[in-house]
């Protein structure tokens, strides 16, 4: 049987997955996996599934799961995975939480318990990366971070743009929604389906963000930002000394190894404010790359067989090492730690195992909500055009509108599905028992 | 009978185009009109909602922001690119030394893929190390001014995108140059004999003679400006904030990123089409007394 597997990775990450696929293909002769690496996988998978010609396995981001699951576009995997002894005990806590959800579907199909919709093949957690030559001991609290950042900031000749900043929240700027979590807030309350951007702790967090341009000047910060090198280059700001500390993922090690292998870096959980710092239970963003089986897949058993192969400890560890990411599994071998390219990978794994690890808000309008927040962050918060509290209040109101609109659409869809089912059942009832 | 046979043969010959038109253009257009009246997430079947998507536009602040940005862009870009292209074409038509090389240089940017050009401009407009600011910084320093962080500043991001778009004005220049060559020399000579100076000759002879070409370029420019996408998408992602967030980008986000909300995206597309049609119609009406078509 030939099955097709679409994956979002390109470059060295795709090559590492190709090796896993090759190993699976050589390990048995019944199933052959055809691996296709592509960009913009959400859109392509969506169109393929809607068109009735999906791949057998698709590699999504965990933040895509709710949309796909609620639309019935991917299959629940609990029972299938259970047959391969893939249960919660096999995975790190925060990772398992990202792969399971309670989809809000139609009246009859409502799943009133958490259901597994994806299996993680790799994961990432975000932590504080710092230059050990400049930062002998990582900060535990935001106050300490501020203090160090101030001391590590040096103005350029002429004083127009800083030559080096201790820390800047916009480097690399990929997660503008996370700051409130380090102050004990969140962006969304799943239980009540409410946006919580204007939570007082979030306001405090974004006021802290605004303290940077306030301290150094908006124009000066913008010029500094625009002069920073790109992520995958020797001019990566931490490597070339433009910043001393930044929030980053474990994959930064790939850049360090490639461009400056001797760079003395350290990794620590990102500092917190108001809540207690705890290295054993750190706060941090957790993401997972997940394998899912699309609805309409022709070879479900074979797809699961391949997915189960990727969940083997040795395979998952090998892939994590190749990607320089933490393992999504509950336990790792000694060899794994010995050969991992990131000597500080345990920090990332502690976040993945922490009860305070947080994922992207589990709402299907997250992309829209995130876009609102990102735009408000870039323009209004970072450029000090309005107070953070006002901006966040507006974002929350608009995000809530989007959430309510999505709920209303689902309600309407449920009503339509119910009436369709009723009209289909009616003739059967009229005919009576055969 | 012969005529019917000829018609059938003719239809058979154009049938590949007809089928292509029906399946790849007419049917998607009709479907997008239907989808604009539905709640459609691509993954789930569409639910008819009537005019709800169109009504939502009125209360959607982002719709008004992107519409304002797009209209502002068009309002600046169409006259600016028309004047720049016309000025360059007139200059080239004087055939100064090296004009052929200059024409090639002006046309060259239009041959570059927009994505590649956008990447190059990202570096040129870099606020700290970009070539443009390297030149501007010492000049502006004499006036106690600072060079802007072009793409990061909510004030300068839009002008930066406009500068990049103006850089690709070469195609219009070539069209204007061809039109200028068609202006009868006899008319220009007669005007000179009547005592007209160069500007008056251009204003009262050349411009009316090339007015159909100007109208064509203005209409094409308007349509292009209302659909601006590639440069802001690659260079700023619509930012900072919504400073360079344009209509087509918001349409794309709704269609593929936000949810997705393909029904709403289709409604946005139909409003955009209506806007383009309205503007084209308005320009054609306005141009009636200004554009001179030569007989024969």
* pLDDT score, position A421: 79
Mean pLDDT of the A42-49 span: 93
Size of interface A-B (CB pairs under 8 A): 99
Any idea what the Cα angle at residue A101 is, between residues A100 and A107, rounded to 5°?
140
* pLDDT score, position A434: 45
Token pair 């990727």 is at which residue?
A310
CA distance A103 to B44: 15
Nearest CA in chain A to B38: A409
Mean pLDDT of the B169-180 span: 93
Q: pLDDT of A61-86, one tens digit each? A: 999 999 899 888 999 998 899 899 89
Chain A interface mutation, best of B115, B234, B240, B265, highest count of A Cβ atoms under 10 Å? B240
Mean pLDDT of the B69-93 span: 95
Nearest CA in chain A to B147: A223
- The residue with greater pLDDT, A227 or A360, is A360
CB B47 within 8 A of CB A409: yes
Give bridge partners of residue B105 from the DSSP assignment. none
Would you call B240 an interface residue with chain A, using a CB distance cutoff of 8 Å? yes
On chain A, the residues whose CB falls within 8 A of the CB of B146 are 160, 219
Q: pLDDT of B233-284, one tens digit each? A: 999 999 888 999 999 999 999 998 887 899 999 999 999 999 999 999 999 9
Instruction: Quickly count: other Cβ atoms within 10 Å of residue A81's Cβ.
Output: 20
Q: Which band of pLDDT confidence, cut at 50, 70 and 90, is reported for residue A154?
A: confident
Mean pLDDT of the B21-34 span: 95
**Cβ contact, residue pair B253, A371, below 8 Å:** yes
* pLDDT score, position A162: 67
Res. A103: pLDDT tops 80 = no
* pLDDT score, position A266: 95
* pLDDT score, position B175: 94
* pLDDT score, position A20: 95
Average pLDDT over all residues of chain A:
89
Compare CB distances from B43 to A68, A228, A378 and report the shortest one's residue: A68
Token pair 């009616």 is at which residue?
A426
CA distance A209 to A191: 28
CA distance B255 to B259: 8
**Cβ contact, residue pair B241, A378, below 8 Å:** yes
**Cβ contact, residue pair A412, B47, below 8 Å:** yes
C-alpha to C-alpha distances, A207 to A38, A147, A151, A248, A377, nearest whole angstrom: 39, 16, 20, 21, 11
CA distance B275 to B281: 10
Strand A2-7 relative to strand A32-37, pairing: parallel
- Asked which of A18-32, A147-161, A201-215 is least confident by mean pLDDT, the reply is A147-161
* pLDDT score, position A153: 85
Mean pLDDT of the B183-203 span: 89
**Cβ contact, residue pair B127, A222, below 8 Å:** yes
Q: Which band of pLDDT confidence, cut at 50, 70 and 90, is reported for residue A417?
A: confident
On chain A, the residues whose CB falls within 8 A of the CB of B154 are 379, 383, 385
* pLDDT score, position A111: 52
Token pair 């068609």 is at which residue?
B182
C-alpha to C-alpha distances, A313 to A24, A303, A336, B168, B180, nearest whole angstrom: 14, 18, 10, 55, 74
Would you call B160 an interface residue with chain A, using a CB distance cutoff of 8 Å? no
- Asked which of A126-130, A160-164, A327-331, A349-353 is least confident by mean pLDDT, the reply is A160-164
**Cβ contact, residue pair B43, A71, below 8 Å:** yes
* pLDDT score, position A140: 94
Would you call B128 an interface residue with chain A, using a CB distance cutoff of 8 Å? yes
* pLDDT score, position B148: 84
Chain A residues with CB under 8 Å of a chain B CB are 43, 46-47, 49-50, 67-68, 71-73, 160-161, 219, 222-228, 364-365, 367-368, 371, 374-376, 378-380, 382-383, 385, 398, 402, 406, 409, 412-413, 416
Res. A107: pLDDT tops 50 = no
């Amino acid at each position: 049987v030939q099955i097709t597997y679409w994956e979002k990775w390109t470059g060295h990450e795709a090559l590492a997955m190709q090796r896993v696929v090759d190993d699976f293909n050589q390990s048995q002769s019944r199933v052959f996996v055809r691996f296709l690496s592509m960009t913009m996988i959400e859109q392509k998978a969506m169109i393929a599934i809607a068109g009735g010609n999906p791949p057998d396995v698709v590699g999504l981001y965990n933040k895509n799961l709710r949309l796909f699951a609620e639309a019935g576009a991917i299959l629940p995997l609990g029972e299938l995975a259970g047959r391969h002894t893939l249960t919660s005990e096999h995975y790190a806590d925060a990772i398992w939480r990202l792969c399971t959800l309670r989809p809000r579907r139609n009246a009859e199909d409502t799943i009133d318990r958490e259901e597994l919709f994806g299996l993680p093949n790799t994961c990432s957690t975000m932590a504080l990366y710092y230059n050990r030559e400049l930062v002998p001991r990582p900060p535990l609290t935001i106050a300490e971070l501020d203090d160090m950042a101030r001391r590590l900031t040096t103005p350029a000749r002429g004083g127009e743009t800083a030559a080096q900043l201790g820390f800047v929240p916009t480097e690399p700027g990929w997660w503008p929604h996370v700051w409130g979590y380090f102050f004990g807030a969140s962006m969304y309350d799943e239980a009540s389906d409410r946006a919580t951007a204007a939570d007082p702790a979030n306001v405090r967090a974004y006021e802290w963000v605004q303290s940077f341009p306030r301290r150094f000047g908006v124009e000066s910060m913008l010029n500094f930002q625009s002069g920073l090198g790109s992520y995958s280059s020797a001019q990566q700001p931490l490597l070339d000394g433009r910043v001393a500390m930044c929030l980053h993922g474990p994959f930064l090690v790939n850049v360090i190894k490639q461009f400056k292998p001797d760079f003395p870096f350290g990794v620590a959980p990102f500092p917190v404010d108001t809540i207690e710092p705890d290295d054993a239970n750190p706060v941090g963003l957790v993401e997972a790359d997940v394998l899912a089986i699309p609805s309409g897949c022709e070879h479900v058993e074979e797809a699961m067989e391949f997915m189960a192969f990727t969940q083997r400890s040795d395979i998952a560890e090998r892939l994590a090492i190749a990607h320089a990411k933490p393992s999504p599994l509950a336990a790792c071998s000694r060899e794994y730690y010995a050969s991992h390219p990131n000597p500080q990978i345990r920090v990332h794994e502690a976040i993945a195992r922490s009860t305070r690890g947080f994922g992207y808000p589990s709402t299907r309008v997250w992309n829209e909500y995130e876009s609102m927040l990102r735009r408000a962050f870039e323009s209004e918060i970072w450029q000090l055009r309005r107070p953070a509290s006002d901006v966040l209040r507006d974002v929350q109101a608009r995000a809530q509108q989007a959430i309510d609109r999505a709920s209303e659409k689902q309600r309407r869809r449920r009503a339509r599905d119910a009436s369709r089912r009723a009209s289909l059942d009616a003739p059967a009832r009229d005919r009576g028992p055969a | 009978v012969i005529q019917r046979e000829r018609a059938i043969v003719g239809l058979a010959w154009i049938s590949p185009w007809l089928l292509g038109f029906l399946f790849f253009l007419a049917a998607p257009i009709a479907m997008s009109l239907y989808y604009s009246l539905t709640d459609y997430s691509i993954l789930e079947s569409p639910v008819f909602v009537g005019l709800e998507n169109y009504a939502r536009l009125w209360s959607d602040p982002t719709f008004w922001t992107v519409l304002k940005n797009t209209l502002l862009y068009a309002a600046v870009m169409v006259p600016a690119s028309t004047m720049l292209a016309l000025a360059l074409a007139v200059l080239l038509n004087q055939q100064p030394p090296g004009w052929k090389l200059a024409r090639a240089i002006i046309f060259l940017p239009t041959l570059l893929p927009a994505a590649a050009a956008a990447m190059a401009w990202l570096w040129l407009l870099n606020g700290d190390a970009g070539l443009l600011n390297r030149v501007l910084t010492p000049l502006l320093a004499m006036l106690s001014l600072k060079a802007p962080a072009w793409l990061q500043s909510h004030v300068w991001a839009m002008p930066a995108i406009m500068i990049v778009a103006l850089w690709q004005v070469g195609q219009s220049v070539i069209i204007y140059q061809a039109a200028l060559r068609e202006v009868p020399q006899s008319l220009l000579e007669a005007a000179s004999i009547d005592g007209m100076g160069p500007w008056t000759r251009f204003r009262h002879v050349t411009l009316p003679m090339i007015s159909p070409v100007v109208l064509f370029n203005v209409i094409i420019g308007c349509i292009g400006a209302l659909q601006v996408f590639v440069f802001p998408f690659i260079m700023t992602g619509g930012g900072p904030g919504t400073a360079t967030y344009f209509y087509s980008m918001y349409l794309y986000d709704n269609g593929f990123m936000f949810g997705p909300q393909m029904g709403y995206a289709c409604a946005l597309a139909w409003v955009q089409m209506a806007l383009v049609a309205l503007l084209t119609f308005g320009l054609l009406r306005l141009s009636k007394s200004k554009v001179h078509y030569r007989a024969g």
